[in-house]
Amino acid sequence: MYGSLVGLELASLVLLALLGWLAGNRASKLVYAGTGEKLRRQTRRLLRWPPVLTVVCAAQAGSAIVIAGSFDKTFWLDRLALHAPLAVIPVLGLWFISVPRLVRLLRDTAGPEKEPLSSDIRSRTADPGLIVPFRAVALGALTALYFAFKPPFPFSLPDAAVPLLALAVALAAIGYGHSRRSRRAAQSEAALPRPPLWRRCLRGLTILAAVVVTAAVPWAIAAQNSKLPERIDMTAGPMDDGKGSTGQGQHAPAGHAEYLAATAGAEAQVSVASLTGPHSQPDRRFTLTAEKQTIRLASGKTVEAWTYNGQVPGPELRVKEGEVVEVTLVNKDIDAGVTIHWHGLDVPNAEDGVTGVTQDAVMPGQTHTYRFRAEQTGTFWYHTHQDSLEGVSNGLFGSLIVEPADDGNREGERDITVMTHAWDGAGMAIAASDGVDRVRVAPGTPVRLRLVNTDNWVRQTYRLVGTDFRVAAIDGTDLNEPGELESGTRLVLTTGGRYDATFVMPDRPVFLSVGGRKDLGVFMSPDGSGDIPDLPAGSSEFDPLHYGKPKETPFGKDSAFDREFTMVLDNELGFFNGQYNMLYTLNGEVFPNTPAFMVKEGDLVKTTIVNRGMVDHPMHLHGHHVLVLSRNGEAADGSPWWADTVDVLPGDRYEIAFRADNPGLWMDHCHNLDHAAAGMTMHLMYEGVTTPYAAGSATGNHPE
C-alpha cells in the first residue's frame, strides 16, 4: 500500500509539473493575440486547464492524506508540511487569482470579433497575476519533487529554507518579467509581435546556461565533499546513545573519546583485536583458499568466479554445537583482498571478518586464521566482507551448518542445502546448477531443506509442491511447534536470510521450485525420476509473525529497555564518494556520517526500524540475533521470531530487541549489497571498545 501511495504521489507531481508548465506557456501567449476573437478562443482553452490541474493536485494531496491516516508521522510529516502545500497553494492561486482574470477578459472582449484589442486589454493579457500562478503550479511541483528525492531528515522547516527561497526568487523573477511585458503591451499601439523561434530558443538556452553555471560550483563542492577519506576510523563518527539525550537524528559528540568524555564514561579501553575466540585446541580445522576459477554451470554456461577452494559455493562446513572451530583463510590471487564473515553466527568480535573494523583485508599471498566456538545450532553461511558486493556476487560464499550436539532426534534425516545465487551473465542457479537437480529420497524419510538466499538484491521465492511442510527454523533458530503449511505456499526469503523447511517424504514426487520456475529447483522422488508437479495457480505467502506457538523469551515488548533507538531507512538523490546517484540513507545519512548506536554490555536494547523509502532493505546486524516484537503495530505472537536479517519493506515499521551481550564494534547494514556499497551501513558500538583498524583507500580495507 505504502509503495503504491508514494508512486501515486510522485507520478502526480511529475504530471503536475509538466501540465502546469504547458498551461503556463499557453497563458504567456495571450499577449500575442491581436484580436478579440483570437483572445477569447485562447482564453476559453486556457480555462480548461485549472480543473485538470486540480484533479492531478487532488491525487497528490490525497495520497499524502492517506499516508498520514495510515502511518505515523515519520512517513507523512514532510509530505503534509511541504509536498502537499507546494502543490495545493499554487492550484488555489489559479482559482482565486488567475481564473477571475481570465473570466473578466472573456467578458470585456465581447465586442466585434476582428476589432484590435485596446491597450488596457493588451496590458491585462500579460498581467503577472494571470500567468504566475500557472508557473507556480509547475515550479511548486518541481520543488516538491526535489523534497521527495532529497527529504529533509529529521524534518525541520529551516532545513527546507534554501529550496523554498529559490522557488520564491524564481517566481519573483517570472513576475517581474511579465510585469515589464504588461507595461510594454499597454504602451504598444498593436499586439506585441511574437519573437522568432531562434530568439526564443536562444533565450531558453541562456536561462539554462545560467542555471547550470550557477549550480556548477555547489555541485562540484558537494561532489568533492562526498569523497571518502583515505583513512576512516570507525569509532570517530557521530554517536546516538539511545537514551533520549540524543534523539532521532540528533547525535552525541562525534568520536568515541568525545562521547565517553561527554557522558563521564571514560574507562579502560578494550581493543576488538583482543576479543578473540578460545585459544584451546580446535575440534575442527578447515582451510579455505580464495582463488579465481572458471566455473561451468550445469547448462554448460561458464562463469569467471572467485571461489573458496576452487568451487562454488565454497565447501560446506559442518560442525557440532560446542566445538571449537579453526578456519585458515589463504588468499591465492584475489587482488582486491578477502575475509570470511560468519553470517548469522554470533562469534567473538575479532573473528567477525569485517575489514577496517575487526581485521585488515587478507591480500594475495597472505593468510588469516579464525577461531570460535560454535555455540548456536542451525543454518548459517560465510562470505567475504571485503568489497562485499563484488566478492559475494563473484562467488566468495559457502554454507556453515552447526548440528546439535545431541542430534538423535534427527537420525535418518535427509539434509539438503539449497544456496540460490544470481550469476552475472548466467542467471539464477542453485550453487552451480542452473537447472533441476534430481535427488533420490525414499518414502518415509524426514527431509530438511536448508534454503539460503545469497543474492545481493533479489528477494527469492521458493515453492515446495507435492507435500505439506513446516518452516522449522529462521536464520538458524528453531521455531516452537511450527504449524503445517499447504503444498505450494510461497516462502519469500530476503537476501542473506535462511529458512529450514521440513517434511516427511511421501510416496510421490516433491519439487522445490526456485523463483516460481519449473526449470530451476530440486526434484525429489524415490528413484529420482518422474514428472515435475505443476505449481498451483494461487498460493498464500508464509508469514512468521503469527506462525508457531508462543514460548517464554528472556525479554519482550513490555520489558524495561536500557536503550531505545530509531533507524529510519530512506532513499534520496545525492553524492557518495564523488558519484551522483540514488542513495539509500540511515537516519538521513550515508556512511561514514551515519550514527553509531552506542550501548553498554548488558543493556537491553530496543530498535524501531522504519522504511519510508521505495525499496526493501534486509537489515543485518552482526554479532547478535534480534527478537522481532512487532511489525506495523501488530505484535509477533507466534513462535518467538529470532532473526539476524530483517526484511523491511517500504512502509514497514518493525520493533526489534536484543541483549547487548557480545562486546565489540559491529556492522549493521543493508544486505542488499548494492545499497551497502552506496553507504547504507552503520555500527553498533559498545562503550569502551576501540579498533586498531581503519577503512579507506589508503588502508586497502573496503568492508562494503
Q: Is the peptide bond before 313 cis (omega within 30 degrees of 0)?
A: yes
Output the DSSP codes for 324-343.
Answer: EEEEEEEESS-TT-B--EEE
Give the number of other Cβ atoms within 10 Å of residue 115's Cβ.
11
Average pLDDT over residues 68-97: 90
Could you tell me if 483 and 501 are in contact, meaning their C-beta atoms sit under 8 angstroms apart? no
Buried b (16+ CB within 10 A) or exposed e, 432-471: bebebbeeebeeeebbbbbbbbbbbbbbbbbbbbbbebbb
Same domain, 495 and 600: no
pLDDT band at residue 339, thresholds of 50, 70 and 90? very high
Mean pLDDT, range 476-485, rounded to an integer = 97
Residue 205's domain comprises 199-224
Q: Residue 210 pLDDT > 90, yes or no?
A: no
Q: Cβ distance 318 to 283 under 8 Å?
A: no
CB 52 within 8 A of CB 12: no
User: Are the CB atoms for 496 and 648 separated by under 8 Å?
Assistant: no
Pair (362, 259) in one structural domain:
no
Q: How many CB atoms lie within 10 A of CB 161?
A: 11
Pair 314, 263 in one domain: no
Q: Identify whether residues 313 and 422 lie together within a single domain.
A: yes
- On whether residue 343 sits in a domain, the answer given is yes
Rounded Cα–Cα distance for residues 175 and 560 (Å): 59
The average pLDDT across 518-533 equals 94
CA distance 289 to 379: 22
C-alpha–C-alpha distance, residues 106 and 199, integer Å: 30
Q: Residue 618: count other Cβ atoms within 10 Å of its Cβ.
A: 25
pLDDT at 159: 78
H or E segment and range at residue 675 = helix 673-677
Q: Is residue 215 part of a domain?
A: yes
Average of per-residue pLDDT values in the chain: 90
pLDDT at 247: 43
Strand, coil or helix: what is 68? helix
Alpha helices in 159-253 (DSSP H): 161-187, 197-225
The answer on 593 and 526 residing in a single domain is no
**298 and 382 share one domain:** yes
CA distances from 532 to 143, 252, 435, 461 (A): 55, 59, 12, 18
Q: What gap in Å lies between CA 89 and CA 471, rounded to an integer?
A: 53
Q: What pLDDT sits at residue 249?
A: 42
Is 194 a residue whose pLDDT tops 50? yes
- pLDDT of 137 above 70: yes
| 541, 431: one domain | yes
Rounded Cα distance between 94 and 53, Å, is 9
Find residue 290's DSSP bridge partners.
308, 331
Q: In what order do the strands lie in the sheet with 341-343?
A: 314-320, 397-403, 378-383, 341-343
Pair (485, 390) in one structural domain: yes
Residues 584, 613: contact at Cβ < 8 Å? yes
User: Bridge partners of 514?
Assistant: 462
Q: What is the mean pLDDT of residues 194-222?
A: 75
Q: Cell for 192?
A: 506585441
Q: Which of 32-41, 109-118, 562-571 has the lowest mean pLDDT?
A: 109-118
Confidence label for 218 from pLDDT (cuts 50, 70 and 90): confident
- Residue 653 belongs to a domain: yes
Please give the angle made by the CA atoms of 373, 684 and 565, to the nearest 5 degrees. Answer: 130
- Do the domain assignments include residue 445? yes
Domain end among 502, 520, 546: 546
- Check whether residue 166 and residue 213 sit in a common domain: no
Contact 116, 192 (CB under 8 A): no
Structural domain count of the chain: 4
Rg (alpha carbons) of the chain, rounded to whole number:
31
pLDDT digits (tens, 9 = 90+) for 238-296: 899 998 644 444 455 566 666 666 665 556 689 999 999 999 999 999 999 999 999 99
Summarised one tens digit per residue, pLDDT across range 23-61 is 999 988 888 877 778 888 888 999 999 999 999 999 999
- Tell which phi-psi region holds residue 475, choosing left (phi > 0), alpha (psi between -120 and 50) or beta: left
Are 704 and 389 within 8 A, CB to CB?
yes
163-182, pLDDT tens digit by residue? 899 899 999 988 888 888 88
Q: What is the dihedral of CA 584, 587, 591, 595, to 10 degrees?
A: -160
**698 falls within a domain:** no
pLDDT tops 80 at residue 212: no
396 found inside a domain: yes
Please enumerate in sequence order all residues whose Cβ is within 8 A of that of 141, keeping only pairs 6 or more positions apart, or say none: 13, 14, 16, 17, 20, 60, 86, 87, 90
Q: What is the mean pLDDT of residues 437-455?
A: 96
What is the spatial distance between Cα 141 and Cα 88, in angstroms, rounded to a whole number? 9
Residues 27 and 143 in one domain: yes
Distance of CA 513 to the CA centre of its chain: 27
Cell numbers given for 24:
503556463
What's 442-463 look like in SS3? CCCCEEEEEEEECCCCCCEEEE
Q: What is the average pLDDT across 70-88? A: 88
Q: In this structure, is residue 231 part of a structural domain?
A: no
Mean pLDDT for the stretch of residues 639-660: 97
What pLDDT shows up at residue 225?
Answer: 86
Residues contacting residue 25 through CB under 8 Å, at least 6 positions apart = none
Residue of 259 and 642 predicted with greater confidence: 642
pLDDT of the residue at 246: 42
Q: Are residues 515 and 559 in the same domain?
A: no
Residue 567 forms beta bridges with which residues? 609
d(CA 658, CA 215): 46
Rounded-to-integer distance, Cα 652 and Cα 611, Å = 6
Alpha-carbon distance of 104 to 10, in angstroms, equals 35
Quote the CA–CA distance of 631 and 543 in Å, as a whole number.
Answer: 11
> Is residue 186, in this structure, part of any structural domain at all?
yes
Indicate the residue among 488, 521, 546 that finishes a domain.
546
d(Cα 354, Cα 591) in Å, to the nearest integer? 15
Give the pLDDT score at 255. Answer: 66
Could you tell me if 616 and 674 lie in one domain?
A: yes
Q: What is the CATH number of the domain that holds 386?
A: 2.60.40.420
State mean pLDDT over 483-494: 96
Q: What pLDDT was estimated at residue 157?
A: 78
